[in-house]
A and B are shown apart, each in its own frame.
Chain A
Amino acid sequence: MPLLEVKDLKTYFATGDGVVKAVDGVSFSIEKGQTLGIVGESGSGKSVTCLTIMGLNPKRRTTSTGEALFNGEDLLKASPSRLREIRGNDIAMIFQDPMTSLNPVHTVGTQLVEAVTLHRNVSRGQAKKRALELLKQVGIPRAERRIDDYPHQFSGGMRQRVMIAMALINDPDLLIADEPTTALDVTTQAQILTLIEKLQSDYDSAVIMITHDLGVIAEIADDVVVMYAAEVVEKSPVDRIFKKPHHPYTWGLMGSLPRLDADLERLTQIPGQPPSLLRPPAGCRFNPRCAYVMDVCRTKAPPLEPVRGDATHLQACHLDEETKDREAARLLHMFASGAA
């Protein structure tokens, strides 16, 4: 049984302008010890998917349907008190912005101790010992002294470490990291990614990594979900998708990425903007921006189906295999020929 299985998840927000379908039929699953990367641009629904799983969306004007089975228990049907038990204990989350996700008027020690005492029946002293242990593990120098500091006394990278320490303090089975390195410099990003990998192998936790950076995905993910306009357009083990991407949006993402290892003359660009989720385009949602659009794309939404000869690689596109083979090969050839 997978650790987390999400089936046909839908999250709709009722707004003054109409219903925003922020997540529209997303399914994926993740095993213990695995890392799932969810990649997509702003507004593709990747963060809302995870907030829905965690039960963190505002109650009013939100409808969530589908299933999110965590160890067989449907989180969407769980009571608020049961969710509070699970959050921070079995499932923990790291948010993008370490500046706003810590409470500025409490010391980091107090906040870490609270995270322990909420879920464990231990004394404050024991909890503090545990907090100190975690701060050391995430590599905060002089942790004994820093534990009584306030968040503003830490740098961005250090605050993100405190967030990670807090997320891991109760040995969660699942860690959801929502763009944990986006606000950080590259050398700090390298420190944090190395840390997440190490802690994952130490505790055998599963990690869902939400990012817009295909580089981060290639570095740490085992499986990849590509989201576009609230839907999954491609899902595959990491090697396959980088070796043979199947969806024109994935091609666009890869082609528009400037690369360190290749000298590209010109980036492939995806024309236009992502669609409004109030009134998404009929048929395939990518059709107004797709260079390979056919008549069928404008009327019929392509189902998410396995590619020929590979049941683990799913994609949602009407294009024929031959075109896809050709275009994927052309893209990879472009990278290879530009490589220094």
Chain B
Amino acid sequence: MTTPAQPPNETADGTPLTGDELLVVDGLQKYFPITRGIIFQKQIAAVQAVDGVTFTVNEGETLGVVGESGCGKSTMARCVMKLLEPTGGRILFRGRDITNLSRSAMRPYRREMMMIFQDPYASLNPRKRVGFIVAEALELHKLGTQAEIKRRVQELLEVVGLNPEHYNRFPHEFSGGQRQRIGIARALAVNPKLIVCDEPVSALDVSVQAQVLNLLKDLQRDFNLTFIFIAHDLNVVRYISDRVLVMYLGQIVESGDRNNLYDSPQHPYTGALLSAVPVADPEVSRGRQRIVLEGDVPSPINPPKACRFHPRCPRFVEGRCDVEPPELVLRGAAAPDHLTRCHYPLERWPLTVDEMRRREEAPAAAASEG
């Protein structure tokens, strides 16, 4: 539970910090205990939902987080928002360690980080009017008189493309896309710096999804917002993000600039994900081969040893991948901020499954692991 004291200017794994980062997440862990017994509860195991996640977010950028269900991306987001207490690691917001702040000490920071949720049907209270839902944070933080708050709410509704006169309506009177706009207005109300979007468009139809994605981009430009954008749809993440993290079983397996990561993925899991996404072009999709992974994502209660992807990996090497855990570092000829957690990164892209299995003994890859 204890975090060793870190020098403020570098993360646990030694990445230097400039002090200008908006958010630093350093070695974040979240374990959920599994207990047995009713009165005398004894912990028998833990779900290792997030296990040692380190990344930084700069002001004004969008960090995309992709991964399949159960990879820990939502838990990670909830820890960053301090909606869950992290088990280990630390979170720095504007250089200040907010990991162990009390509820009241946390309050000023709550104004600066807001969240947009996945399900526009479940995340709005059906018994409250839209005006109240959007105004609630303003009232909690005592930002203005009743009249000022009302004016601000109407302004916000207009910003997100809703009719300001719909102030007095209830959530059920709106469609899914409009509800998601209400959720966005609520997040914007207190002028936050950072907005964590947890699958904000996955419940929406494509045409409505495009409206919401464009709206988020416009708002970012107009209000200099910083987004952490969590999604399982790789197409959406490519469109909206500047940098991308790929998560698998509670760890980051690859991170880098959007174009580098999508055009020359290094981790076999990223490759498999990219090849699995259907491309809306019959000529392209006929000419390529899906890399179909075997089986399901293993249980995070007892994750595979060493590299967590090794039981499903097409280029698994016995005696290395199941023994020696790979670090998330720069490998081979990748761009400087393109990090990969793999002993045998992909030499080029695209590859077929067979080419992936027949990994080339790339000297560059071996050298970087030292």
| Chain A contact residues, CB within 8 Å of chain B | 41-42, 141, 155-158, 185-191, 193-194, 212-219, 238-239, 242, 252-261, 263-264, 266-271, 273-274, 335, 340
Contacts and interface: CB of A to CB of B under 8 A. Distances in A.
Contact of A260 (B234, B290, B296): B234
Contacts of A155: 296
Given A188-B68, A191-B292, 11 more contacts: A186-B234, A189-B278, A194-B290, A194-B292, A215-B280, A218-B280, A256-B209, A257-B235, A259-B280, A266-B217, A270-B207
B292 to A, nearest CB: 5
B207 A158 contact: no
B295 interface: yes
Looking at chain B's contact residues, is the secondary structure mostly helix, strand, loop, or mixed?
helix
Contact of A273 (B69, B177, B273, B295): B177
A98 to B, nearest CB: 13
B262 interface: yes
Given A258-B235, A269-B207, A218 B217 contact: no
Nearest to B67: A185
Interface in B258-299: 259, 262-263, 272-285, 290-293, 295-296
**Lowest 9 A-B CB distances belong to which pairs?**
A215-B278, A256-B210, A190-B276, A258-B239, A185-B68, A41-B205, A267-B210, A214-B280, A258-B235
Nearest to A340: B263
Contacts of B232: 185-186
B274 A260 contact: yes
B214 interface: yes
A330 to B, nearest CB: 16
Nearest to A157: B296
Interface in B90-126: none
Contact of A256 (B206, B259, B272, B275): B206
Q: Which of A185, A186, A191, A216 has the largest count of B CB atoms less than 10 A from its CB?
A: A186
Contacts of A191: 292-293
A250 B214 CA distance: 19
Interface in B179-229: 205-211, 213-214, 217
A239 B296 contact: no
A242 B213 contact: no
B242 to A, nearest CB: 12
Given A187-B68, A269-B214, A219 B207 contact: no
Q: Which of A141, A216, A266 has the largest count of B CB atoms less than 10 A from its CB?
A: A266
Contacts of A219: 278-279, 282, 285
A259 B282 CA distance: 14
Q: Which of B233, B274, B285 has the largest count of A CB atoms less than 10 A from its CB?
A: B285
Contact of B214 (A194, A212, A215, A266): A266
A158 B208 CA distance: 31
A125 to B, nearest CB: 30
B78 interface: no
Contact of A218 (B213, B274, B282, B290): B282
B163 interface: no
A242 B217 contact: no
Contacts of B240: 258
Contact of B276 (A186, A269, A335): A186
A274 B208 CA distance: 10
Contact of B280 (A41, A188, A254, A268): A254
A137 B265 CA distance: 32
Contacts of A261: 279, 281, 284
B152 interface: no
Contacts of A263: 238, 259
Contacts of A158: 296
6 contacts: A193-B278, A218-B284, A239-B283, A242-B282, A259-B235, A260-B262
Contacts of A255: 210
Given A190-B290, A213-B278, A253-B207, A185 B69 contact: yes
A257 B278 CA distance: 12
A21 B227 CA distance: 42
B175 interface: yes
B236 interface: yes
B179 to A, nearest CB: 12
A340 B259 contact: yes
B265 to A, nearest CB: 11
A239 to B, nearest CB: 5
Nearest to A195: B292
Interface string B305-345: 00000000000000000000000000000000000000000
A257 B273 contact: no
Given A186-B273, A340-B263, A260 B205 contact: no
A319 B176 CA distance: 31
A187 B293 contact: yes
A233 to B, nearest CB: 13
Contact of B238 (A194, A239, A258, A271): A258
Contacts of A218: 278-282, 284-285
A297 to B, nearest CB: 18
B211 A187 contact: no
A270 B210 contact: yes
Nearest to A185: B68
